[in-house]
A and B are shown apart, each in its own frame.
Chain A
Amino acid sequence: DAGVIQSPRHEVTEMGQEVTLRCKPISGHDYLFWYRQTMMRGLELLIYFNNNVPIDDSGMPEDRFSAKMPNASFSTLKIQPSEPRDSAVYFCASSLVAGNTIYFGEGSWLTVV
């Protein structure tokens, strides 16, 4: 299996622009997670899905952030409008069932200038 695939790997955008990050989980995994990693706050869980349904979005920082999972093989995390403080590495991860190991993608490195 190819593992969790994220795109883009790197993005530099101007403040106010819309950013869309994409994720393809491991085939057959029922759970998909979006994490954000910064030096100041470490690794934060933003939202996770079970069978394409958002279960817990309490980690989403504010209304500028939204996530969707239209099908079992694709999810997006959108930031609109983006701000410099959104600069971080955004990881997508998936797991087979509850309690199993979470597998991470390589991350999307976002810089907002």
Chain B
Amino acid sequence: GEDVEQSLFLSVREGDSSVINCTYTDSSSTYLYWYKQEPGAGLQLLTYIFSNMDMKQDQRLTVLLNKKDKHLSLRIADTQTGDSAIYFCAESISGPPSSGSARQLTFGSGTQLTVLP
């Protein structure tokens, strides 16, 4: 089955790096995602990584994927107060082609990142 786990809270000082961790259980995941939710808003896609990659970098964001350990992390360099939000990890699991069913995203519980001045 699918189960995505994240720690609930993380606090960092402005300017430091933040590392948000996620573990998942389904080895058939094809894509893994990071979404960001700011207060009062919907979930916004931050970045994603295909399961055959082990690292993806996009400006201040670095995603690391360890398939062996089923561990995904998001590193935010030079964290700013505007980065304070809830970060959701999600995995995309392929459904059987014959069913026509979409891959579903299974979300973690979210990590509340607080950036302290």
Chain A residues in the interface with B (C-beta under 8 A): 4, 31, 42-43, 45, 48, 50, 55-56, 91, 93, 95, 97-99, 101-107
B8 to chain A, nearest CB (A): 10
A91 to chain B, nearest CB (A): 6
- Given A43-B88, A91-B42, 16 other A-B residues pairs in contact with their CB atoms under 8 A: A4-B42, A31-B102, A42-B109, A43-B107, A43-B110, A48-B102, A50-B100, A50-B101, A56-B104, A98-B95, A99-B30, A101-B48, A102-B105, A104-B42, A104-B43, A106-B42
Interface code B36-71, partner A: CB below 8 Å = 1, 0 otherwise?
Answer: 000001111100100000000000000000000000
Closest to A9 in B: B40
Q: Are B103 and A99 in contact (CB under 8 A)?
A: yes
- 29 A-B pairs (CB sep. < 8 Å): A4-B42, A31-B102, A42-B107, A42-B108, A42-B109, A43-B43, A43-B88, A43-B110, A45-B104, A48-B102, A50-B102, A55-B101, A91-B42, A93-B43, A95-B102, A97-B102, A98-B94, A98-B102, A98-B103, A99-B94, A99-B103, A101-B33, A101-B48, A102-B105, A103-B45, A104-B43, A105-B42, A106-B41, A107-B42
* SS class, residues of chain B in contact with chain A: strand
**Interface-central residue, B94, B104, B109, B110, by most chain A CB under 10 Å:** B104
**Interface-central residue, B31, B35, B102, B103, by most chain A CB under 10 Å:** B102
Number of A-B contacts defined by CB within 8 Å = 53
Closest to B100 in A: A50
Q: Are B42 and A98 in contact (CB under 8 A)?
A: no
Closest to B106 in A: A45
A50 to chain B, nearest CB (A): 6
Q: Which residues of A contact B110 (CB under 8 A)?
A: 42-43
